[in-house]
Amino acid sequence: MMDLAYTDAHRAFRAEVRDWMAAHVPKSPLKTLECEEGFNQHREWERVLKSGNWGMVTWPKEFGGRGVDLIEWLIFEEEYYGADAPLRVSQNGIFLLGPTLMEFGTPEQKARFLPPMAAGDEIWAQGWSEPGAGSDMAGIRTKAIRDGDHYVINGQKTWSSRAPFADWCFGLFRTDPESEKHRGLSMILFPLDSEGVTIRPIAQLDGNPGFAEIFFDNVRVPVENLLGEEGKGWNIAMATAGFERGLMLRSPARFQAAAKRLVELYRKKQDTARPAARDLVLQAWQDAEAYALSTYNTASRIMAGGKIGAEASCNKIFWSELDRMMHRTGLSLLGAEAELIGDGAEAAGRWLDGYMFSLAGPIYAGTNEIQRNIIAERVLGLPRI
Amino acid sequence: MDFRFSQDALDLADGARSFLDGANPPERLRSEDGRDSLWPQLAALGLLGVLAPESAGGLGLHDDSFVLIAEAAGRVCLPEPLVALAAISVPAVLATYPDEVGGLVRGDHVSPPVHPLAPYVHDADKADAFIIAGPDALYGVPSSKARLTPVKSIDPNRNLFRVEADLTDDLKVGGAGLCAVMAVRGATYTAAQLLGLTDAMIQMATDYAKEREQFGQPIGGFQAIKHHLASAQVKLEFARPVVYRAAASLDVDSIARQQVHAAHAKIAANEAARFASEVAIQVHGAMGYTFEVDLHYFMKRAWALETIWGDTAHHSMIINQAVIDGGLDIGPGTTFDAA
What 3-state class would DSSP assign to A385? coil
For residues B88 and B98, give the distance between their C-alpha atoms in angstroms, rounded to a whole number: 14
Tell me if B63 is assigned to some domain.
Answer: no
Which is nearest to B125 in space by CA: B158, B94, B83, B96? Answer: B158
Tell me if B183 is assigned to some domain.
Answer: yes
| Predicted confidence (pLDDT) at residue A295 exceeds the cutoff of 90 | yes
Can you give the pLDDT at residue A241?
Answer: 75
For residues A308 and A242, give the distance between their C-alpha atoms in angstroms, rounded to a whole number: 8
Instruction: Please answer yes or no on whether A2 and B210 come within 8 Å at the CB atom.
Output: no
> Which residues fall within 8 angstroms of residue B172, CB to CB, at 6 or more apart?
B137, B138, B139
Q: How far is B51 from chain A (nearest CA, A)?
A: 12
For residues A173 and A29, give the distance between their C-alpha atoms in angstroms, rounded to a whole number: 38
Q: How far is A132 from chain B (nearest CA, A)?
A: 21
Tell me if B148 is assigned to some domain.
Answer: no
What would the pLDDT profile of A251-267 be if each residue is shown by its tens digit?
Answer: 899 999 999 999 999 99
Can you give the pLDDT at residue A245?
Answer: 62
Q: Is A72 a catalytic residue?
A: no
One of A103, A130, A244, A337 is an active-site residue; which one?
Answer: A244
Tell me if B197 is assigned to some domain.
Answer: yes
Lowest mean pLDDT among A239-248, A344-353, B230-239, B294-303: A239-248
How large is the ipTM? Answer: 0.96
* Residues of B with Cβ-Cβ distance to A279 under 8 angstroms: 316
Q: Name the residue facing B331 among A78, A299, A311 (closest C-beta).
A: A78
Tell whether A15 lies on the interface with B, counting CB pairs under 8 A: no
User: CA-based Rg of chain A, rounded to a whole angstrom?
Assistant: 21
Q: Name the residue facing A293 among B220, B241, B329 (closest C-beta).
A: B241
Tell me if B273 is assigned to some domain.
Answer: yes
Q: Which of residues 98-157 of A touch B (CB under 8 A)?
A: none
What would the pLDDT profile of B120-145 be if each residue is shown by its tens digit?
Answer: 999 999 999 999 999 999 999 999 99
Cα–chain-centroid distance for residue B238?
A: 17
* Residues of A with Cβ-Cβ distance to B5 under 8 angstroms: 2
Q: How many domains does chain B contain in total?
A: 1
| Predicted confidence (pLDDT) at residue A346 exceeds the cutoff of 70 | no
For A13, phi then psi, to 5°, come to: -65, -45
Which is nearest to A127 in space by CA: A85, A163, A171? Answer: A171
**CATH number (domain holding residue B233):** 1.20.140.10
Tell whether A290 lies on the interface with B, counting CB pairs under 8 A: yes
Can you give the pLDDT at residue B254?
Answer: 93
Q: How many CB atoms lie within 10 A of CB B204?
A: 21
Can you give the pLDDT at residue B33?
Answer: 67
The answer to whether residues A372 and B227 touch, using CB atoms and an 8 Å cutoff, is yes
3 state SS for A52-99: CCCCECCCCHHHCECCCCHHHHHHHHHHHHHCCCCCCCCHHHHHHHHH
For residues B228 and B286, give the distance between their C-alpha atoms in angstroms, rounded to a whole number: 17
Tell me if B287 is assigned to some domain.
Answer: yes
For residues A98 and B68, give the distance between their C-alpha atoms in angstroms, rounded to a whole number: 37
For B255, phi then psi, to 5°, come to: -65, -35
Q: How far is B34 from chain A (nearest CA, A)?
A: 33
Tell whether A12 lies on the interface with B, counting CB pairs under 8 A: no
Phi and psi based region of residue A372 (left: phi greater than 0; alpha: psi -120 to 50; beta: remaining): alpha
Give the sign of the dihedral formed by CA B317, CA B323, CA B327, CA B328: positive
For B167, phi then psi, to 5°, come to: -85, 80
In order of start, what are the domains of chain A with their CATH numbers? 8-119 (1.10.540.10), 124-232 (2.40.110.10), 246-379 (1.20.140.10)
Lowest mean pLDDT among A115-124, A172-181, A341-350, B150-159: A341-350
Tell me if B155 is assigned to some domain.
Answer: no
DSSP states along B168-207 = -GGGEEEEHHHHHHHHHHHHHHHHHHHHHHHHHHHHHHHH
* Burial label, A136 (beta-carbon count in 10 A; 0-12, 13-18, 19+): exposed
Q: Which amino acid makes up residue B127?
A: A
Can you give the pLDDT at residue B34?
Answer: 60
For B51, phi then psi, to 5°, come to: -95, 0
> pLDDT-based confidence at B339, cuts 50/70/90?
very low
Select from B237, B264, B320 the residue whose CB has the most chain A CBs within 10 Å, as the one to mutate to test that interface.
B237
What's the average model confidence in pLDDT over B296-301?
98
Tell me if B199 is assigned to some domain.
Answer: yes
Instruction: Please answer yes or no on whether B233 and A318 come within 8 Å at the CB atom.
Output: no
Nearest CA in chain A to B332: A78
Can you give the pLDDT at residue B192?
Answer: 98
| Predicted confidence (pLDDT) at residue B63 exceeds the cutoff of 90 | yes
The answer to whether residues A85 and A46 touch, using CB atoms and an 8 Å cutoff, is no
* Residues of A with Cβ-Cβ distance to B219 under 8 angstroms: none
Q: Which of residues 27-56 of A touch B (CB under 8 A)?
A: none
Nearest CA in chain B to A15: B339
| Predicted confidence (pLDDT) at residue A242 exceeds the cutoff of 80 | no
Q: Name the residue facing B248 among A2, A253, A259 (closest C-beta).
A: A2
For residues A373 and B224, give the distance between their C-alpha atoms in angstroms, rounded to a whole number: 10
For chains A and B, CB pairs below 8 A equal 174
* Residues of B with Cβ-Cβ distance to A136 under 8 angstroms: none
What would the pLDDT profile of A177-214 be if each residue is shown by its tens digit?
Answer: 999 889 999 999 999 999 999 999 999 998 999 899 99
Nearest CA in chain A to B63: A1
3 state SS for B222-260: CHHHHHHHHHHHHHHHHHHHHHHHHHHHCCCCCHHHHHH
Q: Domain of residue B239: give its range.
A: 179-328
Distances (CA, A) of B23 to A149, B41, B79, B106, B202: 67, 9, 11, 19, 21
Q: Which amino acid makes up residue A211?
A: F
Nearest CA in chain B to A375: B230
> pLDDT-based confidence at A15, cuts 50/70/90?
very high
Tell whether A3 lies on the interface with B, counting CB pairs under 8 A: yes
Residue A368 bridge partners (DSSP):
none
What 3-state class would DSSP assign to A143? strand
Instruction: Please answer yes or no on whether A263 and B234 come within 8 Å at the CB atom.
Output: no
* Residues of A with Cβ-Cβ distance to B237 under 8 angstroms: 294, 311, 314, 318
What's the average model confidence in pLDDT over B61-74?
97
